[in-house]
Amino acid sequence: MSVTDLPRFDMVHPESLEALCTLIHEEKERPGGVAMLAGGTDLMVEIAQTGSRSGPLPLVVDISRMAPLRGISFDAGRLRIGAATTYLEIERSGLVQQHAPLLCRMGQDVGGPTIQARGTLGGNLATSSPAADGVAAIAAYDPVIVLRSVRGERQLPLAELQTGYKQSSRAVDEVIVAVECDPPPVGSPWIWRKVGTRLAQAISKVAMGGVAVVDEGRISRFGLALASVAPVTCLMSATRAYVLENELSAVSTAGLDAAVERDVAPIDDIRSTRDYRVHCSRAVVRAFLRQLGASV
């Protein structure tokens, strides 16, 4: 498929966040709906598929250059990444490199250079795919998602945004404005692992983001999330609890593996088998705990 094969669709460019919210509210009932275009790397695939079924096409609303949705800031310990910030901008940001290096590393593994130059964190969140790399990485920082609509602004923890496979509690007329988190102190340990068929342009069999703070043989902060092992990004609550409840010297391979197995619920599909995904989940979590000093 080339760009000339795409069906023709209408596109509008609202000039402000307020105008965007009004537009997506007023147009939400139209046949085909309204779709925001950030990088377009998921949306253009959807539009091509809809066009090939002769279904009604959405009104496309370009949000890619909307200033309130763009940019990265760090203030009073809080990192804010605008939803329309691209992976390339995240990778190149000195603030992200300093405070959330895991996100820079993750960005290098999304698609290839063209996808990294266009694709955005907000688009990754909105698509609600359990294989979303950006969501697994930011989830390790326990973020809140900032949403805006004609009804005002609200902030949701990721766990409340994700409601099921490719489903979310975001209303159709709500825009993701930004993702905010309080990263651990500069220099804290982190990990990013993506297990796929090849290094680029591969959706993960399993991907994992993790951050930690270790104080005198004990882990005092532990953020962990896995992609492609459950219907939504898996926030690994049993594993987090096990690690936080035990001294590092008491973390055992059997105890850790059992916690991981309680958290993940993968399926067999064209990319992997359930059993291999469980194996990889145990292996990547153990690798992080070894990095933190546990004998597993």
Ligand X SMILES: Cc1cc2nc3c(=O)[nH]c(=O)nc-3n(C[C@H](O)[C@H](O)[C@H](O)COP(=O)(O)OP(=O)(O)OC[C@H]3O[C@@H](n4cnc5c(N)ncnc54)[C@H](O)[C@@H]3O)c2cc1C
Helix (H, G, I), strand (E, B), or coil: what is residue 163? strand
Q: Return the number of the residue (41 or 93) whose C-beta is nearest ligand X.
A: 41
Distance between CA atoms of residues 124 and 139, nearest Å: 12
Which of 84, 71, 88 shows the shortest CA–CA distance to 39?
Answer: 84
Q: How many CA within 13 A on the CB side of residue 204? A: 30
Which of 43, 78, 281, 50 shows the shortest CA–CA distance to 178?
Answer: 78
Q: How far is the CB of 32 from ligand X (least distance, A)?
A: 12
Q: How far is the CB of 118 from ligand X (least distance, A)?
A: 6
Q: Return the number of the residue (135 or 264) whose C-beta is nearest ligand X.
A: 135
Which tokens belong to 203?
Answer: 């959706």
Q: Return the number of the residue (196 or 210) whose C-beta is nearest ligand X.
A: 196
219 phi and psi, to 5 degrees? -90, 120
Q: Return the number of the residue (134 or 210) whose C-beta is nearest ligand X.
A: 134
Sequence-distant (6+) residues with CB within 8 A of 210 are 102, 140, 190, 191, 192, 222, 223, 224, 225, 285, 288
CA 106 to chain centre: 10
CA 123 to chain centre: 9
Q: How far is the CB of 166 from ligand X (least distance, A)?
A: 11
Q: Return the number of the residue (116 or 239) whose C-beta is nearest ligand X.
A: 116
Q: Return the number of the residue (21 or 219) whose C-beta is nearest ligand X.
A: 21
User: Which residue number places its CB atom closest to ligand X?
Assistant: 123
Q: How far is the CB of 125 from ligand X (least distance, A)?
A: 7
Q: How far is the CB of 255 from ligand X (least distance, A)?
A: 31
CA-atom Rg of the chain in angstroms: 20
Residues within the interface to ligand X (CB under 6 A)? 35-43, 45, 63, 69, 83-84, 110-111, 115, 118-120, 122-124, 126-127, 132-134, 175-176, 201, 203
Q: How far is the CB of 160 from ligand X (least distance, A)?
A: 16
